[in-house]
Amino acid sequence: MTTALTLLASPLPLDIGIGGMTCASCVARVEKALKKVQGVQTATVNLATESARIVYAPGEQIEARLRRAVRDAGYEPRAASAAIDAPDASPWAGFMPVGIGLALSLPLLIPMIADLFGKHWMLPPLWQFLLATPVQFVLGAHFYKAAWGAVKALAGNMDLLVALGTTAGWALSMWLWLTADAGTMVHLYFEGSALVITLVLLGKWLEARAKRQTTSAIRALHALRPEAAHLIGVDGEVDVPVAEVLVGDRIVVKPGERFPVDGTLLEGLTQVDESMLTGEPLPVTKETGGKLTGGSINGYGRVVMQVAAVGSQTVLSHIIALVEDAQAAKAPIQRMVDQVSAVFVPVVLVIALTTLLGWWLTGHAFELALIHAVAVLVIACPCALGLATPAAIMAGTGVAAKNGILIKDAQALELAHKVDVMAFDKTGTLTVGQPKLTALVVPAGIDSLEALRMAASLQSGSDHPLARAVVNEARQKTVAIAAPTQVSAVPGRGTEGRVGTRSFLIGSLRWMDELKVDISSVAAQAAALQGQGATVSAMAERTADGLALRALMAFGDEPKPGAMQALAALRARGIKTVMISGDNRGAAEAMARRLGLRPEDGEVMAEVLPGDKVARVLALKKDGHTVGMVGDGVNDAPALAAADVGMAMGNGTDVAMHAAGITLMRGDPLLVAAALDISARTVAKIRQNLFWAFAYNAAGIPLAALGILNPVLAGAAMALSSVSVMGNALLLKRWKPASSDAKG
């Protein structure tokens, strides 16, 4: 009962889509409204995805209250995946209001252009009124609605600035027209208000097109899910929706089709294209017993698979969840933007009022003073600020996922490029992780095959790479393997248990030394094997006279392809590389030298127990370093979590991938440098975007206040700021990791 209550009380995440947000001020306003709802612990709003991620304590109707809070703030609550699930739109989708605005505004613009060439054309005031008014109050109705919502919430946003500025221009024109003497040609400003609204609509349309491109990575991942599966049922093969497939079902997959779920190959031989999941362009051969991943493409063979995971438990679902989490997250650098956005609109309103009074009180005409104030209101759009960070994060995480690098959170993305020490686990990370038994040494009077049988029997229930190596060797020599009993693992040391009536221990030489096992008869051979880079273990038997040595086993592993190049690439970036291994120093240093590491420079940490890896990582952090950790096993998970940036190999355990901020789907060490590179490029784009967003306002507001920019140019500059920020972020989509280039 207590457990059930604990589960009910634990915080829950919720994603809500939000329609109607236009700028960074909107983001701040929605976040503030959500955080006021009782039970909400955190609320993060993302302008680029038009969504909110809320973590809340369970409560009565809290989801309804959250959606009501969004609506009361002046925005529309939607399904979280509305932007993703929407059908692919035409490139011209949503352009009609912009086209109508251009058609009505261009006749107003022609006299302005003619003035530049000395031609003084002027449309009659009635015509100007008839052209500008539909733009102002029909096409611009959205701005009024959103501005009124902001006013009711005692807040400000881009829509309020646009509505105030354009209404002032339209109203001034009406006043000048209606108060002018009959027959007098008076200069009106209808063209300014109409063109500003049209340009803002054009900017928002271009921005929406760019947003659709930033979500293309998620769309592509969702598209990998087939709608139906060929189920082998009691009546033969039948097509059923994928949602009805159960674990254990047998499914037929034909050549060229995508595997609908995760499973194991039962019948057939084929090659599988896993490029959308791992970034690896070459097909992978799959034989009976091979693992199949939902979303990958079957090659040339008709195969039968047995379902191992469905729904949210599949690898593809985990990948989609990781990418969505990263794109919904808010990078630490965004906090500065949030602080600026909170006061931005009120400050702009004060500047606009100061501009109006300053020009008017210094003897200038009120209409001129008002036009300059309008220009200030129009150019000071904070939408570029709101898009600067999330647009870059979405583009960066999306292109990284396409190339086999899953970035789980924005903090890992922002920190990765600062890493100056990268620590690697050895087995399975820098090495293949499939060691072989290379030598079996037994004391005099011991039968080697019998010793191998005892060792393989004791290890037959273990998934440890060294245990598998012993079992594989026994099977190759057709040695009978018995079922062990009372088996228990001794963390960081080895295994003990019984085979029949006999009791054995298998573990490191360090453990044997702790247990006072006499290994003097094979000590010279052990030292020689370690000097050659082998990992050496021993097997002892409990006898009436104490523990007696029964065998010495040497294991050899091979470096992963690309591991040496990966370490060299990191060193070229000025990053110190360290290998952490539980092996004895001789074996660890021998492998390190094969990988190009320099033990004499402290690049090898040997004889490290699994529980001590965290301490080694923390020791590196204490020296002021930003530390990355790369691993693949369960015992690496604490160290991955302790590092500033944890990277898990995709061929490793789920525990390691859960603890790490970044997952490398191919398990390719070369992707480590690639992950640091995309981090650096994404952060660079964020900084560039923030610079341009601030620069537009820092330069534009004074120019408008001084009368150098008119409202039309201010509107164009404001639209350009948002489009340029989105366009700059989308340049990340062209990124390719060096490992892909190297592989052709």
**C-alpha pair distances (Å), 614 with each of 426, 433, 555, 608:** 15, 21, 26, 10
Q: Which residues contact 133 (CB under 8 A, 6 or more apart)?
A: 170
Instruction: Return the axis-axis angle of helices 190-214 and 383-402, rounded to nearest 10°.
Output: 20
Q: Which residues of 420-455 are buried (b: 16+ CB within 10 A; e: fewer)?
A: ebbbbbbbbbbbbbebbbbbbbbbeeeeeeebbbbb
561: how many CB neighbours lie within 10 A of its CB? 12
Contact 657, 650 (CB under 8 A): yes
Catalytic residue among 159, 425, 636, 668: 425
CA-based nearest residue to 195, from 382, 349, 374: 374
CA 289 vs. chain centroid, Å, equals 32
Q: Is 425 a catalytic residue?
A: yes
Name the DSSP letter for residue 381: -
With CA atoms as reference, report the closest residue to 307 among 221, 231, 227. Answer: 231
Measured CA to CA, the distance from residue 111 to residue 5 in angstroms comes to: 73
390, 47 Cβ separation under 8 angstroms: yes
User: How many Cα atoms are found within 13 Å in the side-chain-facing hemisphere of 30?
Assistant: 34
How far is residue 444's CA from residue 435's CA, in Å, rounded to a whole number? Answer: 27
Phi, psi of 679 (to 5 degrees): -60, -50
The SS3 assignment for 647 reads strand
Q: Count of CB atoms within 10 A of residue 564's CB?
A: 16
Q: How many other CB atoms sit within 10 Å of the CB of residue 215?
A: 21
**What SS3 class is residue 600?**
helix
Instruction: Give the end-to-end CA distance of the chain in Å, rounded to a whole number.
Output: 58
- Size of the chain, expressed as the number of residues it contains: 744
Q: How far apart are CA 584 and CA 508, in angstroms?
A: 9
Contact (Cβ atoms closer than 8 angstroms) between residue 295 and residue 224: yes
Sequence letter at residue 188: L
Query: How many CB atoms neighbour CB 338 within 10 A?
Result: 17
Distance between CA atoms of residues 335 and 410, nearest Å: 13
Helix (H, G, I), strand (E, B) or coil at 181: coil
3-state secondary structure 209-244: HHHHHHCHHHHHHHHCCCCEEEEEECCEEEEEEHHH
Residues with catalytic roles? 425
